[in-house]
Amino acid sequence: MSSVAQPAPDVEGSRFILPSFARTTAFRLTLLSAALFAFSSFVILALVYAATVTAGVRRADNAIAQESIAIEARFRAEGPAAANRYIVQRSVAGGEFLYLLNQPSGRRLSGNISNLPSTRPDDQGRVRFTYERARVGGQSTAEPSRAARGLISNLEGGYTLFVGLDVEDEARFVTYILNSVLIASGLAVAMGIVSGALVSRRFSRRLDDINAAAREVMAGRLQSRAPRNFSGDELDDLASNFNDMLDRVERLMQRMRSAGDSIAHDLRLPLTRMRGRLESALVDAGDLADREAALAQAISDADELLKTFNAVLSLSRLQTGERRRAFETLDLAAIIADVAELYEPVCEETGHEFAVDAADGLTILGDRELVAQATANLVDNAIKYTPEGGAIMLRVRSTSSGAVELSVTDTGPGIAPEERPRVLERFVRLEASRNLPGVGLGLSLVQAIAEVHGAELSLDDGPGASNGDGTGLRIALLFPRHRA
Ligand X SMILES: Nc1ncnc2c1ncn2[C@@H]1O[C@H](COP(=O)(O)OP(=O)(O)OP(=O)(O)O)[C@@H](O)[C@H]1O
Positions touching Mg ion (CB under 5 A) are: 381, 442
Residue 465 binds ligand X (CB under 6 A): no
Residue 27 binds ligand X (CB under 6 A): no
- Distance of alpha carbon 394 from alpha carbon 339, whole angstroms: 10
Among 442, 448, 449, 453, binds ligand X (CB under 6 A): 442
Among 423, 455, 476, 478, binds ligand X (CB under 6 A): 423
If the CB atoms of residues 200 and 409 are measured against ligand X, the closer one turns out to be: 409
The binder of 412, among Mg ion, ligand X, none, by C-beta within 5 to 8 A per type, is ligand X
CB of 449 to ligand X, least distance (A): 12
Residue 267 binds ligand X (CB under 6 A): no
Residue nearest to ligand X (CB): 442
Window 337 to 396, contacts with ligand X (CB under 6 A): 377, 381-382, 385
CB of 472 to ligand X, least distance (A): 8
Q: What is the pattern of x (binds ligand X, CB under 6 A) and - over residues 300-339?
A: ----------------------------------------
If the CB atoms of residues 30 and 377 are measured against ligand X, the closer one turns out to be: 377
CB of 278 to ligand X, least distance (A): 23
If the CB atoms of residues 330 and 465 are measured against ligand X, the closer one turns out to be: 465
Among 125, 440, 463, 480, binds ligand X (CB under 6 A): 440
Residue 448 binds ligand X (CB under 6 A): no
Please count the residues of this chain forming the interface with ligand X, following the rule CB under 6 A: 22
If the CB atoms of residues 250 and 301 are measured against ligand X, the closer one turns out to be: 301
Contact residues for ligand X, defined by CB under 6 A:
377, 381-382, 385, 410, 412-415, 423, 428-430, 433, 438-444, 473
